[in-house]
Amino acid sequence: MPFTLSHAAAVLPAVRTDGTGRGPLVPAVLVAGSFAPDMTYYAAGVVSGAMEFGDVTHAGWGVFTVDVVITWALVGLWLLVREPLVALLPRARQGRVAALTRCGAPRERVRASLVARWYLSAVLGGLTHVVWDAFTHHDRWGTRLIPVLGEEIGGSPVFWYAQYGSSLLAAAVLVVFTVRALRRTVPGGSVPPGVPVLSTRDRWAAVALLAGCA
């Protein structure tokens, strides 16, 4: 899928609009799991040979092993930057976003049950990614299972249209879900818990730093 972020749409059925997961599933881990198989492609810019490792992260066995590790690393990074990123928003916009993303929530103690929930969520997120790609990329088991996906229309294979079309549709679904979730979320207060208070100058400096990193 050309837009990695669009993969998050596949896990939305397991996420409620109040930001909680259904059953034992953990939303942040589900979303990170849906991104994990593509992370090697982004790492290729700084790590030699990372691009080729994408065959592993998109393999069935990779979903249950390597992708889980990548997912957990992504979630760890998210927990580090969550509150600082929310702090970059205008003060009036912080409350709902902070409440939806659970800013300032106490960390759960690491127990076997928590590890199991994180593992299950990571695997499910990764599976949605790999299965989706199977029907929208060249020479995957999905395109071999349905040969018509390899037929050309207007000079491009059907799976190419499926790839870009599903990416755009998924992006639209994510926008709608996010807007609805934010509208239903009750702000946690004028000063969201755990969110640092930044001056206008601090915000602009942080935005400039992020732009430079990009």
Cα 190 to Cα 56: distance, rounded to the nearest angstrom: 46
Across the chain, mean pLDDT equals: 91
Per-residue confidence band for 189, with pLDDT thresholds at 50, 70 and 90:
low
Residue 16 · residue 22 · CB < 8 Å? yes
**Both structure tokens of 146:** 């349905």
Cα 83 to Cα 192: distance, rounded to the nearest angstrom: 9
Residue 206 is predicted with a pLDDT of 82
Residue 1 is predicted with a pLDDT of 53
pLDDT tens digits, 200-210: 888 788 878 87
Residue 57 · residue 37 · CB < 8 Å? yes
Q: Quick one: which of 1, 4, 10, 6 has its CA closest to 125? A: 10
Q: State whether the Cα torsion 101-107-113-118 is positive or negative.
A: positive
Please, what's the largest Cα pairwise distance for the chain? Answer: 57
Which pTM was predicted?
0.90
pLDDT tens digits, 154-181: 999 999 999 999 999 999 999 999 999 9
pLDDT tens digits, 114-159: 999 999 999 999 999 999 999 999 989 999 999 999 999 999 999 9
